[in-house]
C-alpha cells in the first residue's frame, strides 16, 4: 500500500465523533442504506400508495439510470482492484472452482425459476430468470464473514458472486427498455474512451474528471444505443487509478492513500444513491405477490445453493480440490450465503422490467430473498459451522 | 299415448323456458338496441375451458338473438393453463362457437396467464401486436399490454390518444387501475402512469379484468372504470366494497353488453344464470367539463 497521501476528515476526527456520525459510518460500511430505503418505501407504499408511486416514478429515471451508474462503477472498481496483482482475489487459479460454482448457481436458479413459472403456465414471467440468478455480494460477504471470518469460504464466495453478477449484467444490459433508439453511440463512446486514455496518460489522480466527463459521455453513448446506461462507468473504470484491495471488498476503504480517499468519497455518495434506489424501487403493495414472487424465492433459496453444491460436487469428482479449510459443511453454508439476491436482484428487475404487475411481484420476491441471510445463519447453527462450531 | 304427449310437452317447455332463456330475453330490456348503434360484449379472465365458460358462451349466444352485438372485447387471461393448438379449440373456439359462426369478432388484450405469442392467433384480432388500436363507428378503442408498461408502449399510447378525434375513446387492458377486488385490487403503480394520459386525452371508459368478479366504479376524474374478470374464473365474495364502488357482482360468472349510441353508452351485465346484475347509461362528457371524484 502507498503511504497516506491525502488526509481525510474522518481520519482526523477519530474518536471524537458523535454517536450519529458513528451510526452513519456503520450504515455506510455495512451497506445498510438500501435496506433502510426499502423499509421506508414499503411502509410508505402500503399506507399512502398514490403519493408514494408519484414520487417514486418521478425519481425513477435519475436514480435508476443515472445514480446507479455510480454504484455499478464502484462495484467494477472494487472488482478490478481485487483481481489486480496484489489484490485479494488475484491469481486466476483461484477462479476456476468459483466460476464452476457460479455456473451451477446460475443454472440451478434459472432451472427452478423457469420450471416454476412454466408449471404455473405464466410464460410471460420467463423473461425474469436473470433476476433469479442475482447474488447480493455485500449480503453474502457480510453474513459469511460473521460466520467464517478467516476461512477460504470468503474469497470463494466473493469470486462466485462477482462472476454471477457480471454474467447477469451482461444479460440485462441489452434488455434495457427504451422508447427510442437514437444511434450514434459508438462515436460518443470512442470519444469517452479517448479522453479517459488521455487523462490516464497525463496521470490524473482524481476520480472525478473521469466520472464526470468520460462517464457522462459513456452514459450518453449507451443511452443512445438502447443499452442500460447504468453500466456507463464499466468501460471507464479500467482507466482510473487503482490500488490493490484487501479482502474487505465492499467495505468503506481505509483512507490511507489518494485512491482510497476518492473511493471513500465515492462509496459515501453511492450509499446515498442506494438509499434512494431502495426508496424508489422497494415500495410494493404487499398484496402484489404472485407466481413470480414464489418462483424467485424458490430459485434463490433452493435452486441456487443446490446448483452451487452440485457444480462443486461434480468438479471435486473430476479432480478439483475444495479451497483450503473448506469442508462440505462449510461449503453448504457458503452456498446458502449466496441465496440472497436483494440489491442486485432489485437492480436487475428494474433493468429488465418496466412499471407493472410483473415488476411488482418480482420485486417482492427480490426483497424476500434477504431471508437467505437468516437461513444461512440457521444452517450454520444446525451444522455447527464457524463460530457456531462449539 | 297421452302420457307420452304430456312428457314431450313438458320437455319442450323445459327447453324453451329454462330460466337462462327467460332471463336472456329479460336481460337486454334496458338496452335500446338501436339499428345504427355500436353493440359489443365484454368479458375477461374467461379461458378456463371449464363448464362455467361454456355456460357463459351459451348465454352470450342466447342474448345475441335480441341484442345483435357483432364484437367482443376480451380483457386478458384469454387462456389459462396449457396453450397448445388443441387448447385454442377447447378454451376459445368451442365455448364461443355460436358467436364465431355468426361472424362475431373478438378483440383480445394480453393478461398475465396469456402466452405472448397468442397475439398472433388470428381470431384474437391483435394483428400480432401487444398493444394496438382500432375504430368502430365513432368509437376509438385502444388496447394496452398492462403486464408491463415500457417507455415505448407509453409513448405509443400517448400518440394514439393524441391523434384520435373520435367521439368516444375507450381503453381496455388486463390489470385494473381501480378495483375493490380483495385478491388484487387497484394497481396504483400503473394508475400513476396511465391516469394522467386518460384524463388529458379525454378517455371516457376503461375496461379491465384480472380480479375475478364484476365491478363498476364511481366515475374517477370523469372516467368510468369497469372490472369484468369473471368470464370463466370466479372468486366468489372477493369484492370489498368501498367508497369507490358503484355496483358489483361476485356470486357467479358474468359478462357485459354495451351499446354506444350518440353521446350515450348503455351497459348491462348478465350473469351465467341469465340474470341482469347491473345496468345503466354513461353520458359522454366533453373534456374540461368533467367532475372530479
Interface of A with B in 329-358 (CB under 8 A): 353-358
From chain B residues 116-135, the ones with a CB under 8 A of any chain A CB are: 116
| Residue labelled with grid coordinates 467494477 | A76
Which residue in A108, A223, A98, A118 sits closest to A163, CA to CA? A98
Contact criterion met (CB < 8 Å) for A356 and B146:
yes
Per-residue pLDDT for B26 more than 60? no
CB-CB neighbors (< 8 A) of A50 in chain B? 188, 191-192
Looking at chain B, which residue has its C-alpha nearest residue A286? Answer: B184
* Contact of A242 with A84, CB cutoff 8 Å: yes
Q: Where are the beta strands (DSSP E) in chain A?
A: none
pLDDT at B19 over 50: no
Least trusted range by pLDDT, from A357-366, B12-21, B58-67, B68-77: B12-21
| B180: helix, strand or coil | coil
Closest CA to B208 of B224, B230, B227: B227
DSSP string, A259-290: HHHHHHHHHHHHHHHHHHHHHHHS---GGG--
A178 has a chain B CB within 8 A of its CB: yes
Q: Which chain A residue has the Cα nearest residue B210?
A: A357
The continuous run of DSSP H or E covering A120 comes out as none
For residue A281, the model assigns a pLDDT of: 92
With beta carbons under 8 A apart, name residues in chain A contacting B77.
none
Q: Which of A16-25, A228-237, B115-124, B263-272 has the lowest mean pLDDT?
A: A16-25
pLDDT tier at B23 (50, 70, 90 boundaries)? Answer: very low
The answer to whether B154 contacts A179, with C-beta atoms less than 8 Å apart, is yes
Name which of A320-329, B87-96, B259-268 the model is least confident about. Answer: A320-329
Q: What is the C-alpha to C-alpha distance for residues A156 and A151, in angstroms, rounded to an integer?
A: 9
Q: Find out whether A358 and A349 touch, Cβ atoms under 8 Å.
A: no
State whether residue A19 sits within 8 Å of chain B by CB. Answer: no
The helix/strand count (H/E) of chain B reads as: 7, 13
Instruction: Please answer yes or no on whether B116 and A353 come within 8 Å at the CB atom.
Output: no
Res B257 pLDDT > 70: yes
Cβ contacts below 8 Å, chain A against chain B, sum to 81
> Cα dist. A347→A123, A250, A351, B165 in Å?
22, 17, 6, 41
Tell me the three state secondary structure of residue B217.
strand
- Predicted confidence (pLDDT) at residue B234 exceeds the cutoff of 90: yes
With vertex at residue A379, the alpha carbon angle to CA A374 and CA A382, rounded to the nearest 5 degrees, is 130
Confidence of residue B91 (pLDDT cuts 50, 70, 90): very high
Q: What pLDDT shows up at residue B18?
A: 38
- How far are the Cα atoms of B139, B200, B203, B218 from residue B288, in angstroms, in the given order? 19, 9, 12, 18
Place of cell 396467464: B113
- Is A57 in Cβ contact with B189 (below 8 Å)? yes
Answer for the pair A25, A13: CB distance below 8 angstroms, yes or no: no
**Interface-testing mutation among B76, B80, B181, B192, with chain A (most A C-beta atoms within 10 A):** B192
Q: Quick one: closest CA in B to A61, which residue? A: B151
B136-194 pLDDT, tens digit each: 999 999 999 999 999 999 999 999 999 999 999 999 999 999 999 999 999 999 999 99
Between A382 and B6, the more confident residue is A382
pLDDT of residue A122: 93
Residues of chain A contacting B177 with CB distance shorter than 8 Å: none
**pLDDT for res B176:** 98
Residue B12: pLDDT over 90: no
Q: Which CATH entry fits the domain spanning A31-176+247-385: 3.40.50.720, 3.30.572.10, 1.20.1530.10, 2.40.10.330?
A: 1.20.1530.10
Residue B17, pLDDT > 60, answer: no
pLDDT for residue B216 is more than 70: yes
Q: Say yes or no: B51 contacts chain A, CB-CB below 8 A.
A: no
Q: Residue B4's pLDDT band (boundaries 50, 70, 90)?
A: low
Closest CA to B131 of B105, B161, B103: B161
User: What does the angle CA B142 – CA B92 – CA A360 come to, to the nearest 5 degrees?
Assistant: 55
Residue A13: its H or E element: helix A9-13
- The structural domains of chain A, with segments of one domain joined by +, span 31-176+247-385
- What does the pLDDT read at residue A30? 72
Inter-chain touch B148–A178, beta carbons under 8 Å: no
Query: Using the beta-carbon criterion (under 8 Å), do B188 and A123 form an inter-chain contact?
Result: no
pLDDT of residue B130: 97
Cell numbers 444461512 correspond to: A376
What residues of chain A score a pLDDT lower than 70? 1-16, 88-89, 91-94, 179, 245-258, 390
Task: Evaluate if residue B16 carries a pLDDT over 50.
Answer: no
Report the 10 Å Cβ neighbour count for A147: 25
Give the gap in angstroms from C-alpha B47 to the nearest C-alpha of chain A. 13
Structural domains in chain B, sorted by start: 2-283 (3.60.21.10)
Helical (H) or strand (E) element with B226 = strand B224-228
Roughly what angle, to the nearest 10 degrees, separates helices B188-200 and B151-163? 30
Amino acid at each position: 500500500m502507498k503511504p497516506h497521501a491525502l488526509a481525510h476528515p474522518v481520519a482526523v476526527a477519530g474518536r471524537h465523533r458523535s454517536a450519529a456520525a458513528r451510526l452513519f459510518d456503520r450504515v455506510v460500511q455495512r451497506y445498510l442504506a438500501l435496506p433502510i430505503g426499502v423499509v421506508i418505501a414499503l411502509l410508505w407504499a402500503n399506507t399512502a400508495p398514490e403519493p408514494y408511486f408519484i414520487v417514486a416514478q418521478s425519481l425513477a429515471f435519475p436514480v435508476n439510470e443515472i445514480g446507479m451508474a455510480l454504484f455499478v462503477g464502484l462495484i467494477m472498481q472494487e472488482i478490478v482492484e481485487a483481481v489486480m496483482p496484489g489484490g485479494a482475489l488475484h491469481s486466476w487459479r483461484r477462479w476456476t472452482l468459483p466460476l464452476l460454482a457460479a455456473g451451477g448457481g446460475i443454472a440451478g436458479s434459472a432451472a427452478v425459476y423457469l420450471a416454476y413459472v412454466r408449471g404455473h403456465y405464466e410464460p410471460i414471467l420467463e423473461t425474469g430468470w436473470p433476476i433469479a440468478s442475482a447474488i447480493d455480494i455485500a449480503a453474502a460477504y457480510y453474513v459469511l464473514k460473521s460466520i467464517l471470518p478467516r476461512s477460504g469460504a470468503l474469497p470463494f464466495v466473493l469470486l462466485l458472486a462477482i462472476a454471477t453478477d457480471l454474467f447477469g449484467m451482461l444479460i440485462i444490459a441489452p434488455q434495457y427498455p427504451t422508447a427510442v433508439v437514437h444511434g450514434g453511440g459508438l462515436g460518443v463512446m470512442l470519444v469517452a474512451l479517448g479522453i479517459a486514455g488521455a487523462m490516464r496518460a497525463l496521470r490524473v489522480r482524481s476520480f472525478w474528471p473521469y466520472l464526470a466527463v468520460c462517464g457522462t459521455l459513456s452514459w450518453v453513448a449507451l443511452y443512445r444505443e438502447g443499452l442500460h446506461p447504468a453500466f456507463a462507468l464499466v468501460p471507464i473504470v479500467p482507466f482510473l487509478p487503482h490500488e490493490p484491495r484487501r479482502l474487505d471488498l465492499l467495505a468503506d476503504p481505509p483512507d490511507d492513500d489518494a485512491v482510497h480517499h476518492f473511493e471513500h468519497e465515492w462509496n459515501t455518495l453511492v450509499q446515498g444513491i442506494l438509499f434512494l434506489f431502495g426508496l424508489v424501487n422497494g415500495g410494493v403493495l404487499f398484496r402484489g405477490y404472485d407466481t413470480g414472487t414464489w418462483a424467485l424465492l424458490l430459485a434463490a433459496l433452493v435452486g441456487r445453493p443446490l446448483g452451487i453444491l452440485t457444480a462443486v460436487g461434480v468438479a471435486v469428482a473430476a479432480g478439483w480440490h475444495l479451497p483450503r479449510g473448506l469442508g462440505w459443511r462449510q461449503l453448504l453454508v457458503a452456498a446458502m450465503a449466496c441465496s440472497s439476491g436483494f440489491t442486485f436482484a432489485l437492480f436487475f428487475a428494474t433493468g429488465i422490467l418496466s412499471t407493472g404487475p410483473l415488476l411488482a411481484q418480482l420485486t417482492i420476491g427480490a426483497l424476500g430473498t434477504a431471508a437467505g441471510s437468516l437461513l444461512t445463519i440457521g444452517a450454520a447453527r444446525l451444522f455447527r459451522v464457524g463460530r457456531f462450531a462449539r | 299415448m297421452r302420457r307420452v304427449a304430456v312428457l314431450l310437452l313438458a320437455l319442450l317447455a323445459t327447453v324453451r323456458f329454462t330460466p337462462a332463456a327467460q332471463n336472456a330475453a329479460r336481460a337486454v330490456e334496458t338496452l335500446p338496441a338501436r339499428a345504427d348503434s355500436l353493440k359489443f360484449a365484454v368479458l375477461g379472465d374467461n379461458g378456463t375451458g371449464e363448464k362455467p365458460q361454456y355456460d357463459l358462451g351459451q348465454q352470450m349466444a342466447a342474448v345475441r338473438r335480441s341484442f345483435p352485438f357483432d364484437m367482443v372485447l376480451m380483457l386478458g387471461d384469454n387462456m389459462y393453463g396449457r396453450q397448445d393448438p388443441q387448447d385454442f379449440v377447447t378454451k376459445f373456439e368451442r365455448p364461443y362457437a355460436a358467436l364465431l359462426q355468426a361472424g362475431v369478432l373478438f378483440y383480445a388484450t394480453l393478461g398475465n396467464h396469456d402466452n405472448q405469442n397468442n397475439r398472433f392467433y388470428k381470431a384474437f384480432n391483435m394483428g400480432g401486436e401487444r398493444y394496438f388500436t382500432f375504430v368502430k363507428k365513432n368509437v376509438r378503442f385502444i388496447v394496452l399490454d398492462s403486464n408491463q408498461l415500457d417507455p415505448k408502449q407509453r409513448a405509443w399510447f400517448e400518440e394514439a390518444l393524441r391523434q384520435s378525434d373520435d367521439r368516444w375513446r375507450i381503453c381496455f387492458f388486463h390489470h385494473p387501475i381501480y378495483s375493490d377486488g380483495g385478491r388484487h385490487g387497484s394497481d396504483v403503480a400503473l394508475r400513476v402512469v396511465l391516469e394522467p394520459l386518460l384524463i388529458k386525452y379525454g378517455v371516457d371508459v376503461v375496461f379491465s379484468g384480472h380480479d375475478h368478479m364484476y365491478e363498476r366504479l364511481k366515475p374517477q376524474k370523469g372516467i368510468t372504470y369497469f372490472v369484468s374478470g369473471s368470464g370463466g374464473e370466479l372468486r366468489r365474495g372477493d369484492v370489498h366494497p368501498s367508497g369507490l364502488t358503484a355496483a358489483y357482482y361476485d356470486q357467479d360468472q358474468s359478462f357485459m353488453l354495451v351499446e354506444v349510441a350518440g353521446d350515450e353508452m348503455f351497459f348491462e351485465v348478465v350473469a351465467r344464470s341469465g340474470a341482469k346484475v347491473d345496468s345503466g347509461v354513461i353520458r359522454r362528457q366533453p373534456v374540461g367539463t368533467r367532475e372530479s371524484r
